[in-house]
Copies of this chain bind each other. A is one copy, B any other.
Amino acid sequence: YRDSAYHTWLACTHYLRGVRDVYNYLTVTDNRLLSVLPSSQFTTIPHRAPAPAPAMALAMKRAAATAVRAISSANSASILTRQLHASAEKKKIVGVFYKAHEYAEMNPNFLGCAENALGIRNWLESQGHEYIVTDDKEGPDCELEKHISDMHVLITTPFHPAYVTAERIKKAKNLQLLLTAGIGSDHVDLQAAAAAGLTVAEVTGSNVVSVAEDELMRILILVRNFLPGHHQVISGDWNVAGIAYRAYDLEGKTVGTVGCGRIGRLLLQRLKPFGCNLLYHDRIKMDQELENQIGAKFEEDLDKMLPKWYSGDVWYPQPAPKDHPWRYMPNQAMTPHISGTTIDAQLRYAAGVKDMLENYFKGEDFPAQHYIVKEGELASQYR
């Protein structure tokens, strides 16, 4: 877990507390009921799970902040910085995306796969740049390894990430720019990237709506106990009781977000008409006007937001192996990191990557919020 993973988790985790009922879930009767819930509350993390317990999360946050400071100061004395070239030099750009096979041609806007490669091949090649695209990213003999030594730019997504380790950075003598088509830099060793003077950037904001919608869906799926019912249908069963004994309305419940950044706010906004008691926890309380607008109250005590149910989307490593224990957790609604790769998000992050490449070729700056590391310096929001 790196700092950005933690922040994403912070922004995306949620907490649900029933206020009407006393829940006495005492027995595990199928693999979907979690455990004893001893109090009149139930909680869920509908995203980025299993997440660290709040106390651990706070410790992680402190550790991450320390690490970030260390990188920042170490970096000011960096031996090597690589300025982004403003020259008309032809660049070698490598894109690592998931292969879509038969799905690639099914939707012209399905830009995030290796075959469609963000829809920028013709544009890049018409300018004389080389554009290598692969999904083969692991191990010493993979396709990616063949291009590491001479690539200038590496583009990847959080959904099928090229892991950029210190070792790979060391080999990548020409590398200047690491772009995330989407949001996140968990796959990059940021300390090594900063020390090597690289620039790391993402398309900030490109999937906040996608993820906020996804959150609300997962809250509803867990609270309303949707999955066991659907599984009964497709497996030939019929047992209303096995669903209804722990299916709830969302109305009237307490829902809190741990973190209230852009995703948290979009989520709370969407929760408003559900008639819930909305809470948020964050490092800083919002001003009263914004609180009123969002309709959520500040909850200072993070320990009141203990998660019990899980629904997450982000894994390590990705793809997750068949025996990854999260696959077989009880009472979950996990998916294979898809929440931020809707077609709409793909259109946004493909456009964002193209814009940044255009800036890069011209030697211009990116939009400030997209930077994670700028020419070896951590972006201000990470300091």
Contact = CB atoms under 8 A, between A and B. Distances in A.
Interface of A: 20-27, 29, 98-110, 112-113, 159-160, 209-210, 213-214, 216-217, 220-221, 224-227, 229-230, 232-234, 236-252, 269-270, 272-275, 318-320, 322, 326-328, 333-339, 341-347
A221 B232 contact: no
A27 to B, nearest CB: 6
Contact of A335 (B100, B230, B250, B270): B230
A241 B107 contact: no
Contact of A220 (B105, B216, B234, B240): B216
A257 B370 CA distance: 39
A275 to B, nearest CB: 8
Q: Which of A21, A210, A233, A242 has the most CB of B within 10 A?
A: A233
B107 A342 contact: no
A383 to B, nearest CB: 32
Contact of A252 (B106, B109, B344): B344
B334 A230 contact: yes
Given A112-B244, A217-B224, A230-B335, 16 more contacts: A20-B344, A24-B107, A25-B106, A113-B245, A159-B240, A209-B251, A220-B220, A234-B327, A234-B328, A234-B334, A237-B336, A238-B318, A240-B337, A244-B346, A248-B342, A249-B345
5 contacts: A99-B241, A159-B244, A234-B328, A240-B338, A270-B274
- What is the total number of copies of this protein in its complex? 2
Given A27-B102, A233-B334, A107 B246 contact: yes
Interface class of chain A by DSSP? loop
B342 A241 contact: no
Contacts of A272: 273
A74 B269 CA distance: 52
Nearest to A320: B238
Nearest to A334: B233
A274 B213 contact: yes
Given A213-B251, A241-B99, A244-B113, A229 B335 contact: yes
Given A221-B221, A226-B217, A336-B239, A244 B341 contact: yes
Given A233-B336, A239-B336, A21 B109 contact: yes
Contacts of A224: 213-214, 217, 339, 342
A26 to B, nearest CB: 6
A273 B273 contact: yes
Contacts of A237: 336
A316 to B, nearest CB: 13
A227 to B, nearest CB: 7
Given A224-B213, A230-B227, A107 B249 contact: no
Given A213-B274, A238-B336, A29 B343 contact: no
Contacts of A102: 27, 29
Contacts of A109: 21-22
Given A25-B107, A220-B213, A272-B273, A240 B98 contact: yes
